[in-house]
Structure 1
């Protein structure tokens, strides 16, 4: 979600710059105006809360400029102050704390150039937990797959506005795996030995086949959601959630064996929901110079010295809950073939380790081994069967470390 916010921040500045022009326009980046970008959500989890500060960046720049050296702290209406310190790409509270019901919290920032910013006061939202996550076979837009839903209920009918994030983790099995691996061994030159009558031998590169020393057949990959996921229950007679958070086609390799999703649910107030909804709508508006140009819009962060200064971002205090779900492909699609693998080209390639005309292919074989483009499948004498690395060694694109939460 953070990368998404960076893109949106650039979008907003450009949209503001071109105002409401709807004619064709050649954009010239001569009036770039910097703006502070604030990403801040504190929750009812006891932890080191985090705030991220950056600047919007120009078209020719590769990414956001982090706001370094700022003094960041949060105050509440009980006189408490929570100081943050700079850590890598964000600011983290020096001591763990959690948002308490009924208290009013306010974010305050002083940049290294002496500019001061403050947020509106925010109160912790209703604490409503996720009841469960479900995974069922479904057909969505003509595609068969797995529909994952979040279920919950607020009997007091006060939650209403929801934002979600998830991290999915999945097991990968290399389809053409061998317990052996190939490597190139440099054999030094051997001088002639007249006493033994042995001739000189030049230096050479031998192919060594040996047992693998690390796990390369089974791997685990994780991926975070990268979009704003929102839901509201305003149109319902009760505050009941049955929300489809993720659909995965049965042709997607990530569910081939075992899959897990960890979902976090943030309860928002109307202002926070409206802000994120606007960001989400802008991301699908068709581009900076489209007829839907909205101009600049503000969150709830203001400059103390210059209230008209443009500041992007929103400080919110959200009640959060989380749940994890596991499922196996074989449980949902018993007897059905597995989805296509991550690498579509798993053709077995044959090589003969000799120098000369075909079928000799020793040079190509060594090149493939040295570059790690090819891995061993089987061999006999000077004949080798090789496959692309991804087909026989899942660590070429994933990790062999079993996640601490994983349950088979």
Structure 2
């Protein structure tokens, strides 16, 4: 299926009407920002203890995990990404279609203001290159770090940082967000993209990279904050189509995946209330207007999911538990984070995580295909931090497609 590049003469054809360029986990680290030297030395001290005890593998694992969590962006990634996006925007195959730019969080490694400002400046440049009409930026768990590992931060430091994040206009001041919206050709429905925050501004839980979609701001008691999922449902119901039957296609953007790519970690990384969130999204369908989200877009894991070549052609072919049938979870990899190397070298048995992101193109079905969308996914990758960004390719070409009903 080829991108139409705009309006088609024959309405029976599927028509491309939206690109979502989905980036995540830039992990920018400004050189003028803070370095958590105390935690760095502590991690090395513990790793040295393991090494002296003969646990060489455990020692290396600990150092790798620490540095993968705190390493900044690859210094060559920004220029190479600008080059790719320029070619994409100039390619007539992709031109003439509205574009949204989405970043699902972890713009920074340590959460310091200088790194966040530089990361947002990069995103603004990408938006200009793409001619993207909208830019949606989420808050990641690393962005909640107050310039140091959260376990070492005081309550006063955490409060000052989260207050600053809400007042700088780098991120939305409150969640959930009002949706980005675009009409779907050939019908009265719309595509709606909304964002919620899954970040927990807490020393212990954020140190384990755990997330939760709940009260916003998350440090307030329930009676004082906004329950994000209830607010999403109430807003959706308030803006229903007047005819009483027209449904919209809803996308939820959230940093932590609801369906964590298997195997789901037990003590770290996952969304603590993922099952409750999934239940809330599905339960909304009892109102007769479809699920609260048919598609979930996330980051956090640093790897594209489903992996390139594994996207099912039909949503019914796979259930992304705890999501239900008819819902899809897509995760973007780390767009620009540098690969950790000890002593400047990557060990032979290790492989650098690729720098990658995804481009989703939405196609409206003809009138004869009731409440149906086709989404093409292109995965853009830069392997081992070398060379240009390029589209992943296989024997079937450079695109995967999935059909979704709403």
TM-score class normalised by the smaller sequence: under 0.3
* TM-score (normalised: structure 2): 0.23
* TM-score (normalised: structure 1): 0.23
